[in-house]
Structure 1
Amino acid sequence: MAPTSSDPGSTDLGSYATLELDLTDGILTLTVNRPQALNALSQQVISDLWKAFTAIEDSCTHDAGWPVRGVILTGAGGKAFVAGADIREMASMEPDDAAEYARSAQGVTLLIEKVPVPVIAAVDGFALGGGCELALACDFIYASEAAQFGQPEVNLGLVPGFGGSVRLPQRVGLGPARELIYTGRRIDAAEALRLGLVNRVLPTRQELLAAARATLGEIAPKAPLAVGLAKQSITGAYGLHTGQGLEIEAGLFREAFTTEDMREGTTAFLEKRKASFAGK
């Protein structure tokens, strides 16, 4: 489905068989739309997500006008964010096919981490296996009280293949991640919040989406290049030795000084006026 938009002159982000896009006031709501399959990550969904996030990344330039300032990633139907990988497709895969399937999904998660705008996973219902892994690639995870998280791959004789064994320990710590992955246990939104897996829990889907939109609305007026550089710094430095991380940070701090937005921001501060950032 092609994106609808209230942004004058916004970039065409394409149309997709399994995704719905809505761009309003710089905030793109990207909905995985396979409710009959609980939004499972078929090869088509993975391909569509790759193309959509590539289009988002390409739009993040001054020439394109930075039409997208933030993304809400969610699922259709009310029962699932993304229930997991597509088991029907996986059942007939040979080992090499499975490796290719995993690498293509991992590529999407890396792209989500790379796009220079914040991405919030708005989880309502199941986020299991690949769905949990997709959410883990996002900058923030907001959940409704109906959300459930888990890495149940061991129940199928499998292991996480879309980043769960890497990103889940980073979010919740090594011990809790091992327990969740080895047991295949599901946890509710309250437990996910306690573990630090999610940032916020909201009572309903409507309140969940409103909260995600409010956060992105708070970020949208900021200098888009600075937000993108901050994301790059955090993602690039995470897990490195402190000295290595500081080198990455210093380099990106320097890069910020090459932007017109930095000059505008500091000048506006000194002149006691609101900055107007052009994204260049």
Structure 2
Amino acid sequence: MVETRIEGLTAHIRLIPQTGQFTLLDVETIKEIIKNLRMVKESPAKCLRIYGEGGCFAVGADLRTLSTYDGFDAKWFSMLGNTMFGTMRTMPQVVIAEIDGFCMGGGMDFAAACDFRYATGKSKFAHPGSKLGIITGFGGTQAIPRLMKSACASEFLITGNAFDTDYMLKGGFLKGVAHNTEELMHMTGILCEKINRKSRTLLSGFKLSLNGSAGI
């Protein structure tokens, strides 16, 4: 389930997992996120905060479902995910990921499509494709190395191991780390206040320029 609200110049998208589960980026969830992103895109908001619940930001696709896909299905699913990320990168709003728990697989790709990433100290990060014998189709193997130091990105993607916030901060993936959820919200709130004082046209232009120079 995806819940969106707009408060003044700041939009919020909350990812709500089913009871007892983490937020999976399955077909229905991705479609719902795209729908909500497009709604925010047309709003007067200047920044968008995205966060999860239940100790999780997002953990990627449902591997049991993916195992049933043929080549055509897999390509279609990859294109759907990249439609979501493309919307995030081209919308005029500055997109901020607030990570408070697990951020795994496609969830990493989701966070990488945001403009800023903040996390609590308890959060864990992994891109386990190498352990599963796959290269994921959401583009994380291209996006993550653009955000992280080369050696850190290589270790992160090739080993598929889980890493803590200290590693991800030093590696360049995170902008900041908070001690708890309240501090995380405070940190991102301060950033939003700074963003909201700027011209929406200017923010949009900077996003297009930065993403274009990165080849995204």
1:180 aligns to 2:156 (yes or no): yes
1:209 aligns to 2:193 (yes or no): no
Give, in whole Å, the separation in 2 of the partners of 1:53 and 1:239. Answer: 22
Q: 2:208 is matched by which residue type in structure 1?
A: Q
Residue in 1 aligned with 2:49?
72
Deviation at 1:25, TM superposition (A): 2.5
1:55 aligns to 2:31 (yes or no): no
Kept in 1, the 8 Å contact 2:4–2:36? The answer is no
Higher relative contact order (CA 8 A, sep 6+): 2
Q: 1:28 is matched by which residue type in structure 2?
A: A
Residue in 2 aligned with 1:198?
174
Consecutive unaligned residues in structure 2, runs of 5 or more: none
Deviation at 1:178, TM superposition (A): 2.3
Give SS of 2:12's match: strand
Show CA shifts across 1:192-229 (max 9, x none). 00101100000111211221122112111211111111
Give, in whole Å, the separation in 2 of the partners of 1:92 and 1:37. Answer: 21
Show CA shifts across 1:16-50 (max 9, x none). xx101122222111011115331010101110111
Kept in 2, the 8 Å contact 1:90–1:98? The answer is yes
Give, in whole Å, the separation in 2 of the partners of 1:32 and 1:54. Answer: 16
Kept in 1, the 8 Å contact 2:149–2:172? The answer is no
Give, in whole Å, the separation in 1 of the partners of 2:142 and 2:89. Answer: 14
RMSD of Structure 2 on Structure 1 (CA): 1.5
Q: 1:54 is matched by which residue type in structure 2?
A: R
Give SS of 1:158's match: coil
Q: 1:142 is matched by which residue type in structure 2?
A: Y
Give, in whole Å, the separation in 1 of the partners of 2:194 and 2:73. Answer: 43
Kept in 2, the 8 Å contact 1:151–1:160? The answer is no
Residue in 1 aligned with 2:79?
103
Give, in whole Å, the separation in 2 of the partners of 1:124 and 1:102. Answer: 26
Consecutive unaligned residues in structure 1, runs of 5 or more: 1-17, 60-65, 241-280
Q: 1:174 is matched by which residue type in structure 2?
A: S
Residue in 2 aligned with 1:165?
141
Give, in whole Å, the separation in 2 of the partners of 1:154 and 1:210. Answer: 36
Residue in 2 aligned with 1:9?
none
Give, in whole Å, the separation in 2 of the partners of 1:191 and 1:226. Answer: 33
Kept in 1, the 8 Å contact 2:57–2:99? The answer is yes
Give, in whole Å, the separation in 1 of the partners of 2:133 and 2:59. Answer: 17
- Structure with bigger gyration radius: 1
Deviation at 1:239, TM superposition (A): 4.8
Give, in whole Å, the separation in 2 of the partners of 1:195 and 1:138. Answer: 17
Give SS of 1:225's match: helix
Q: 1:156 is matched by which residue type in structure 2?
A: L
Residue in 2 aligned with 1:25?
8
TM-score (norm 1): 0.73
Kept in 1, the 8 Å contact 2:51–2:57? The answer is yes
Give SS of 2:23's match: coil
Identity of aligned residues (%): 26
TM-score (norm 2): 0.94
Deviation at 1:52, TM superposition (A): 1.2
